[in-house]
Structure 1
Amino acid sequence: MPKLSAAIRHSVAFTLNGVPRTVEVEPRTLLTDALRHGLGMTGTHVGCEHGVCGACTVAIDGAMARACLTLAVAAEGCDLRTVESLAPAPGRLGVLQAAFKRHHALQCGFCTAGILMSLDTYLRRHPNPSREDLTLVIGGHLCRCTGYAPIVAAALDAAAELRGTSEHPEDAAHA
Structure 2
Amino acid sequence: MHETDVHLSVNGTPHGGVVEPRLTLADFLREKCGLTGTHLGCEHGACGACTVLLDGQAVRSCLIFAVQVDGQEVTTVEGIASPDGELSPVQSALRACHGLQCGFCTPGFVTSITALLRDNPQPTDDEIREGLSGNFCRCTGYQGIVNAVHQVARSQA
Bin of the TM-score, shorter chain as denominator length: over 0.9
TM-score, normalised to structure 2's length? 0.95
Number of residue pairs aligned between Structure 1 and Structure 2: 157
Q: Residues of 1 paired with 2:156 and 2:70: CA distance?
A: 31
| Partner residue, 1:62 | 56
**Is 1:128 paired with 2:126?**
no
Residue 39 of structure 1 aligns with an amino acid whose one-letter code is C
**Is 1:95–1:162's contact at 8 Å kept on the other side of the alignment?**
no
- Counterpart selection for 1:105 from 99, 108, 112: 99
TM-score, normalised to structure 1's length? 0.86
Displacement of 1:25 after TM fit?
A: 1.1
Structure number with greater Rg is 1
Displacement of 1:17 after TM fit?
A: 1.0
Q: What aligned pairs does 1:20-169 form with structure 2 within 5 A after superposition?
A: 20-163=14-157
Residue 125 of structure 1 aligns with an amino acid whose one-letter code is D
Q: Residues of 2 paired with 1:114 and 1:19: CA distance?
A: 21
Q: Residues of 1 paired with 2:17 and 2:144: CA distance?
A: 37
**Is 1:30–1:69's contact at 8 Å kept on the other side of the alignment?**
yes
Displacement of 1:18 after TM fit?
A: 1.6
Q: Residues of 2 paired with 1:152 and 1:101: CA distance?
A: 12
Helix, strand or coil at the partner of 1:68: coil
Residue 130 of structure 1 aligns with an amino acid whose one-letter code is T
| Superposed structure 1 runs of 4+ greater than 2 Å apart | none
Residue 76 of structure 1 aligns with an amino acid whose one-letter code is D
Q: Residues of 1 paired with 2:113 and 2:132: CA distance?
A: 7
RMSD (CA atoms):
1.1
Displacement of 1:63 after TM fit?
A: 1.1
**Is 1:23–1:39's contact at 8 Å kept on the other side of the alignment?**
no
Helix, strand or coil at the partner of 2:62: helix
| Partner residue, 1:167 | none
Per-residue CA deviation, residues 74-110 of structure 1 (Å, 9 max, x unaligned), is 0111111111111113431111000001001000000
**Is 1:53–1:140's contact at 8 Å kept on the other side of the alignment?**
yes
Q: Residues of 2 paired with 1:125 and 1:138: CA distance?
A: 13
Query: Structure 2 unaligned runs (5+)?
Result: none
